[in-house]
Amino acid sequence: MALLHTAPSHTLHSSITKLNLKNPSPFVSKTSFTSRNLHFREPSFGATKISCRLIPKIIKDGVNTVVNPVISIVDGLQPAIYTPPKDDLKKEDFPADFIFGASTSALQTEGRGDEGGRGKSTWDFMIEAEKGRKAVDSYNLYKEDVKILKETGLNSYRFSIAWPRILPNGTVESGINQEGIDFYNNFIDELVANGITPIVTLFHFDLPVPLQKQYYGFMRPNVVEQFTEFADLCFEKFGDRVKYWGTINEPYVFGAYGYKMGLPSELQKDPKGSFIATHHIILAHASAAKLYKDKYQKSQKGKIGISLPCKWFMPHSTDPKDFAASKIQLDFTLGWYMDPLIRGDYPESMKKNVKGLPEFTKAEKALIKGAYDYIGINYYTSRFVEHTCTVDPMAGTITINFNEQIADDEGNPVGVQAKGQADIYIRPDGLKNLLLYIKEEYGNPEVYVTENGVPDKPTITSSIQDLIAQGKNEELAAALDDDYRIEHTQDHLIAVREARREGANVKGYIVWSLMDNMEVGAGYDVRFGLNFTDYFDNHKRYPKKSARWYAKFLNADSTKDSLN
């Protein structure tokens, strides 16, 4: 999805209290929601047991970007020059069953949002606002998508099923759209026929509008039943071929921001809203996972999990309070979901500090604990975290903020800022450290990197063919010669390799994204794709240099002539 929000400065309001920071907790986590006032009980930093020992090893140096030769790769132009992977990186560094894939979502790729009997979703306005564009028209071009997956040598494709395409009004009772069932059956069959493993996300932000109106999105517990019903239908119709299911993509983002789409203003401003919505998201995931395990897993022999977006957080300085702030930030992002799945309840720091945090019943704790076969991690960037403290003697309060910073206290940047999106700073070792943190903190679950990528924002004035005819080589280079993406991919593959060598149970690496598409919050100008989408020429796809490089890395036969 590649939608990032600035993590809130978690603000703790309390009576003046002597803070115990002799044994600070050293870690942090992921992405974040928009700034709001969160009211906490008295902060408690001490005595939190942390098994992870990575923080002291954090490297403070910035990331160096290597610029490779810029060579165009469109038919009729000089072929690309293949740059061998660095640090002896090779496909054989990973096991034979390792998943190398690419990722997209229905919202961002399929089309206008009304074709084939599809109902309205809460986020369709993002497509409609872009001058009638059709995302990247994968509804009609899905066979082209499968073709480029195969040509790149990728063995899997992570995509989502649009809930309103299957159930236009959100429920089975209100009617099943057979055209939608047929579309996904044909799509899945095409993937399987070409030796590509489908990895299917059930919910990637596109909630049917009737459910948003009826249940205020995920603010009402009824949505748990409706999501489970939708999941049941998908398992029944597609599970004979789909062996990897993801329930909900980036629940942290949706639980903090996405659920508000179309809500009355008073509900959007509810300070407890994100905690309530997230509570129901966790229960919806667990309910669907239990259904799959109980009803389908034995016969269909698949796996089910959830994809969590995660920044890596590092202390801003060697001050113990910054280490404690890092751990709290991890708890309030990654731990918000991982602790219930692993331990059956929210992190202790959340339970102690968030007034009004919803509570799981005994039965719900039993439902959510262990409700996964794998954990997906969407990683794009890292941050430093700084603990600040303001004292108001007159009011008798202390205000503690945990602020994200893009440089540490010595001025070292967290990474190189991405060219296409201001909030992404490239930090490959952050992915390694995040994977090792999950290993040590959560018992080394099976993990897949379900999204990782880098954006660009080139200026493109006409179609690729017109640019060729006009001799506009600079625009062609901006569109297709993405050596920075090659660098980014290999650096993060190295991070995964090194995490695996240190024992992390990582089973796959999936690039965001297969092709340029409608990026949520950024429209069509920001491009993450291995393949270029030509919005001036019927969404035709062209492989960028990164796609050709990846194909060579994966030993795809189709690249022999292109990259000799």
Which residues contact residue 117 at a Cβ distance below 8 angstroms, ignoring those fewer than 6 apart? 165, 168, 177, 178, 179, 180
Separation of alpha carbons 68 and 488, rounded Å: 12
Q: Residue 46: is its pLDDT beyond 80?
A: no
Contact 383, 414 (CB under 8 A): yes
Q: How far apart are CA 36 and CA 551, in angstroms?
A: 45
Residue 31, both tokens = 């992405």
Q: Which residue has the tokens 């919505």?
A: 277
The DSSP secondary structure of 254-273, one letter per residue, reads: HHHTGGGTT--HHHHT-TTH
451 is catalytic: yes
Q: Check whether 554 has a pLDDT greater than 80.
A: yes
C-alpha pair distances (Å), 211 with each of 117, 168, 324, 563:
17, 10, 40, 50
Q: Of how many residues is the chain composed? A: 564
Per-residue pLDDT tens over the stretch 339-361: 999 999 999 999 998 999 999 99
Strands (E), 129-220: 156-160, 197-203
Which candidate in 151, 364, 386, 451 is catalytic?
451
So what's the pLDDT on residue 521? 82
Give the pLDDT confidence of 71-80 residue by residue, as tens digits. 445 564 556 6
Share of the chain above pLDDT 70, in %: 83
% of the chain beyond a pLDDT of 90: 73
Quick one: average pLDDT of 509-537? 95
DSSP state of 295: I
Round to whole Å and give the CA distance between 431 and 280: 28
pLDDT at 479 over 90: yes
pLDDT tops 50 at residue 47: no
Cα–Cα distance, 531 to 497 (Å, whole number) = 25
User: Domains (ranges, CATH) in the chain?
Assistant: 10-559 (3.20.20.80)
**Whether pLDDT at 54 is above 70:** no
Active-site residue, selected from the candidate residues 151, 250, 386, 519: 250
Cβ-contact 107, 160 below 8 angstroms: yes
Nearest one of 537, 521, 541 to 1, comparing CA atoms: 521
CA atoms within 13 A on the CB side of 155: 13
Structure tokens at 517: 């598409």
Within 229-373, strands assigned E span: 244-249, 303-309, 312-315
Span 291-318, pLDDT tens digits: 999 999 999 999 999 999 999 999 999 9
Q: What is the mean pLDDT of the chain?
A: 86
Query: C-alpha angle with apex 89: 83 to 91, nearest 5 degrees?
Result: 100
In terms of Cα–Cα distance, which of 437, 418, 439, 414 is closest to 427?
A: 414
287: left (phi over 0), alpha (psi -120 to 50) or beta: alpha
Token pair of 431 as six digits: 């992915």
